[in-house]
Structure formats: structure tokens, C-alpha cells
């Protein structure tokens, strides 16, 4: 009988903010013609993604750790209902995290957190997509018993 990979699942879901940052920069890199200046090297943009990923890991790390804890404690496996649960939980947690921080630490700004340049549903989509990708990567397959 195989043991459940607690550490792999927990650590994998803790990396969800890094996946989200990579998705945002990939979208910006290929969608906006002025985002990538041909005179600068690609190494500059990779360094930028790395720095912003660390910031996202610090800021969105707590919801990602929560998602990893839930996955590990419930011993979730690859299955439609379990992956769907993680996708919804990851999206909802990422969506609720910004307003929760604004509520707990009021800054007096006119615009609500996170001051996105896109639609406010972007945190939900990024949380859901990154949770989906990580769940396909780290969750173990179900054993037939």
C-alpha cells in the first residue's frame, strides 16, 4: 500500500501563486505588442517574472498554503469531483483574499484591492487555473481497492 504524498501535495499547492504570475506574464508577453521591447533581452523579462513571482508567493502564499493543507488533510486524489472541488476552492480563495486584506488592513484608497488593470474576476480565474494545473501535477491517482 502506497503512502499519501503529503509533502508533495502541500508544497505543490504552495506554488500556485508562481504559476499564476507566469500565466499573467505569458499572456502579457504574447498579447500586448508593446510589452516586449525588442531591444531588451528575454533574460530581463525572465528576471522580472521571477521577482514578481516571489512577491506573489509572499502575498498569496497564505491562501495557497490553505489549499495545500486542505488537499493534504482530506487526502485528495485525481478524480473529477476532487479536482473540481480544488479548482473552485482555489478560485474562491484567491478571489476573496484581496477584499479580506482590504477589510483587515484598511488603506483608505479609492479603488478596491487589488487595483487590477483587468476585470476583478482575474484573481478567481488565476486561482482556478493554477489549482487545476497543480492538481493534475501533484495529486496521486486513486488506487482501486
Whole-number Å distance between alpha carbons of 20 and 24: 6
Whole-number Å distance between alpha carbons of 57 and 66: 13
Average pLDDT estimate for 63-92:
93
Average pLDDT estimate for 25-35:
70
Whole-number Å distance between alpha carbons of 56 and 84: 24
Among the listed residues 76, 56, 74, the one whose alpha carbon sits nearest the alpha carbon of residue 15: 56
pLDDT, position 22: 87
Q: Say if CB 81 and CB 135 are below 8 A apart.
A: no
Domain ranges of the chain: 6-138
pLDDT, position 115: 47
pLDDT, position 118: 59
pLDDT, position 8: 92
pLDDT, position 39: 61
pTM of the full structure: 0.82
Amino acid at each position: 500500500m502506497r503512502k499519501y504524498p503529503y509533502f508533495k501535495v502541500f508544497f505543490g499547492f504552495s506554488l500556485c501563486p508562481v504559476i499564476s504570475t507566469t500565466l499573467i506574464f505569458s499572456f502579457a508577453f504574447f498579447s500586448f505588442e508593446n510589452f516586449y521591447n525588442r531591444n531588451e533581452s528575454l533574460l530581463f523579462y525572465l528576471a522580472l517574472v521571477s521577482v514578481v513571482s516571489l512577491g506573489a508567493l509572499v502575498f498569496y502564499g497564505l491562501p495557497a498554503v490553505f489549499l495545500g493543507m486542505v488537499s493534504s488533510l482530506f487526502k485528495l486524489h485525481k478524480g473529477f469531483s476532487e479536482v473540481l472541488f480544488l479548482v473552485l476552492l482555489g478560485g474562491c480563495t484567491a478571489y476573496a483574499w484581496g477584499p479580506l486584506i482590504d477589510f483587515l488592513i484598511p488603506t483608505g484608497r479609492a479603488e478596491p484591492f487589488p487595483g487590477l488593470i483587468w476585470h476583478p474576476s482575474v484573481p478567481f480565474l488565476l486561482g482556478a487555473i493554477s489549482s487545476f494545473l497543480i492538481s493534475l501535477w501533484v495529486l496521486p491517482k486513486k488506487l482501486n481497492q
